[in-house]
Structure 1
């Protein structure tokens, strides 16, 4: 593997950085978004039960124990329940606007890698072809025959960097699209929870 890396030439280094970042972002987002999803339903059930029993302090404690954007948003609304429905709605909207970027964290970087990796591979291909023509020029200038061994390093570089760039870009694109869809689902969940909270508070005379 190390030999193939060397054959790929200097562009393999930025491609290596892209591959490491891609793996790190995918793993981090999978763990984070999955954790948020698993907590959501139980969290909302617990908060609803507490609000129905008019135990706002208990509901706030549940929010404090749940590390998620949904809990932060619900807590902001609950903390304003004595100020009326409009204050609750405004607190939810303001907090939601701050928490949504947390769901989108690192996705811009992942999308950038998906676009840049093939370009880095293409640049490596161009450098490989330049290497081939340079070898050809040197042999011709010395009136020496040109054999496959003279062109092989440049061809290796051209093919391997293209392959590496695509191998990084394809999973990055797929992961980006998947995470964007998941974020949209979580945003919808935040909106639904906001509406539910307003109904729970209004139904029990808390707002």
Structure 2
């Protein structure tokens, strides 16, 4: 008599467990999208955009820290009278803060008039602050639009609930009303869940931009109020770093 061996059932492993959890998450997300409709789908898209902006801005501010430390040291060297070495050190870095410091040092070492240098530094500082505030308008728009979209979904859900109530006449089915009320509450919750973190992140990034702006103003003032000596400004050897400052080297860890 032949014996047949039944194939053994596969033992549950990490991959199957992960698939089960992932499948449950996808199923729940699909159910939320079905119930919430296009408004919830739009809110989820806005949440992804807000998260992307937050990661980009966080990475931008992290990359500014090394440049800030070295530029502060360069400005202190400038104040001690080591203008050529200070300009060479500042020229190794790029980014919003470095652009302002290099602009101030370049103008003074080139022998330009103080008014011209100040005007150029102010324009460079405005551009630097604008670069620091890049994408924050988008985060602000999401923080303001998300709760309004949630409110729109609430109104649509309540309209649907009252439509069911009207069509049912005197025989009201609670299950029919529950669908519209569920949509109304769901869209409101999702809208607030997107808007609240976006608003908090926006305020935090605004604080970081204000801090960088104060640093820019302080360092630019220190450079402009400590001009180099006349022979240093006229020395061609000290004017060389001014050219380098416009095209920083890419060999070190620059902050863009």
Question: TM-score category by the smaller chain?
Answer: 0.7 to 0.9
The equivalent of 1:114 in structure 2 is 143
Q: In terms of Rg, which structure is larger?
A: 2
Q: Which runs of 5+ in 1 are unaligned?
A: none
- Match for 2:104 among 77, 82, 105? 77
Deviation of 1:112 after TM superposition, in Å, equals 1.6
Q: Does 2:56 align with 1:24?
A: no
TM-align CA RMSD: 2.3
Number of aligned residues: 202
1:63–1:72 contact (8 Å) kept in structure 2: no
Listed one character per residue, the Cα deviations across residues 109-138 of structure 1 (whole Å, up to 9, x for unaligned) are 211211111110000001011111122222
Using the size of structure 2 for normalisation, the TM-score is 0.71
**SS in structure 1 of the partner of residue 38 of structure 2:** coil
CA distance in 1, matches of 2:231, 2:58: 40
Corresponding residue number in structure 2 for 1:180: 206
Provide TM-score, normalisation by structure 1. Answer: 0.86
Name the one with the larger helix percent: 1
Shift of 1:48: 4.3
CA–CA distance in 2 between the matches of 1:190 and 1:12?
42
Contact 1:74/1:194, CA 8 A, preserved across alignment: yes
Q: Confirm or deny that 1:148 pairs with 2:174.
A: yes
Deviations 1:137-174 (A, max 9, x none): 2222xx7x332321222111101100001001111111
Q: Deviations over 1:39-88 (max 9, x none)?
A: 20222214543784342xx6555445423101111121222122243333
Distance 1:54 1:186, change over 3 A: closer
Q: Which range moves more in the overlay, 31-40 or 114-123?
A: 31-40
In structure 2, the gaps of 5 or more residues are 1-28, 234-256
**1-structure distance, mates of 2:230, 2:35:** 70
